[in-house]
Amino acid sequence: MTTLPPPAVKKFPKDSIESRVYSIAEKFKEFIPIPNDRNRLGFNLYRFVKGEGDPPEILVSSTKIKIVGISKEELAQKIREELENKEENI
């Protein structure tokens, strides 16, 4: 019996909104050690940028991500600053 290879993963283009927002979540991997938590945060940030989701101050609590070495308020502020820096490109 053999195992099939995993399906190919198509990456977002570097100039897409998704790529930019997920890179913000990846930037905080020292504070959010679990990769799936960063993916969840990236998805919710994408929804926020599209006008469908909550702001970072609420997302940090509602996504139930594990945060290490920083308070929720500080992390939310850092995320907000990153969004404002990238906002002109999004």
> What 8-state DSSP symbol labels residue 89?
T
Q: What is the pLDDT of residues 36-53, one digit of tens each?
A: 999 999 999 999 999 998
Tell whether 6 is covered by a domain.
Answer: no
- Average pLDDT, integer, range 29-40: 92
DSSP per residue, 21-77: HHHHHHHTTTT---HHHHHHHHHHHHHHHTTSS--HHHHHHHTT----SS-HHHHHH
Tell whether 52 is covered by a domain.
Answer: yes
Number of domains in the chain: 1
Domain containing residue 74: 17-86
Tell whether 3 is covered by a domain.
Answer: no
Tell whether 66 is covered by a domain.
Answer: yes
pLDDT at 75: 92
